[in-house]
Amino acid sequence: MGINRFIRCTVALAAMWLVFIQISQAQQPPARIYNTVKEKLARGEQVVGGTVTSSDPNMYCAMANAGYDFLWIEMQHSPLSYQEVARMIWACRDAPAIPFVRVPDATAGDIQKATDIGALGIIIPLVDTTEKISAAVQYAKYPPMGIRSQGNGQYRGLWGDDYRQTANENIMLVAMIEAPAGVTVVDQIAAVEGVDVVMVASTDLGSFSGLRQGNARYESMVEEVRQATLDAGLALGGPQAWRDREGFQFFQGPTDANLLREGVQWSLETLGGGVAAIEGAEER
Residue-wise pLDDT for 193-242, tens only, equals 999 999 999 999 999 999 999 999 999 999 999 999 999 999 999 999 99
pLDDT at 11: 59
pLDDT at 152: 87
Query: In the predicted model, what is the mean pLDDT of the chain?
Result: 92
> What average pLDDT does range 117-129 have in this prediction?
98
Q: For residue 24, is pLDDT > 60? A: no
| CA–CA dist 86, 118 (Å, integer) | 8
Of 65, 69, 66, the residue nearest 40 (C-alpha): 69
Q: For residue 43, is pLDDT > 80? A: yes
Q: For residue 25, is pLDDT > 60? A: no
Of 57, 148, 138, the residue nearest 99 (C-alpha): 57
pLDDT at 232: 98
Q: For residue 170, is pLDDT > 90? A: yes
Percent of the chain at pLDDT above 70?
88
pLDDT tier for residue 163 given thresholds of 50, 70 and 90: very high
pLDDT tier for residue 100 given thresholds of 50, 70 and 90: very high
Please state the domain extents for the chain. 31-176+240-260
Higher pLDDT, 114 or 278: 114
Higher pLDDT, 129 or 284: 129
pLDDT tier for residue 64 given thresholds of 50, 70 and 90: very high
Q: What is the CATH number of domain 31-176+240-260?
A: 3.20.20.60
pLDDT at 29: 74
pLDDT at 279: 72
pLDDT at 9: 61
Q: For residue 15, is pLDDT > 80? A: no
The CA-CA-CA angle for residues 48, 53, 55, to 5°, reads 120
pLDDT at 86: 98
pLDDT at 95: 98
The CA-CA-CA angle for residues 272, 56, 168, to 5°, reads 120
Model confidence, pTM: 0.87
> What average pLDDT does range 246-273 have in this prediction?
92
| CA–CA dist 124, 117 (Å, integer) | 17
Question: Which has the minimum average pLDDT: 62-66, 120-124, 129-133, 151-155?
Answer: 151-155
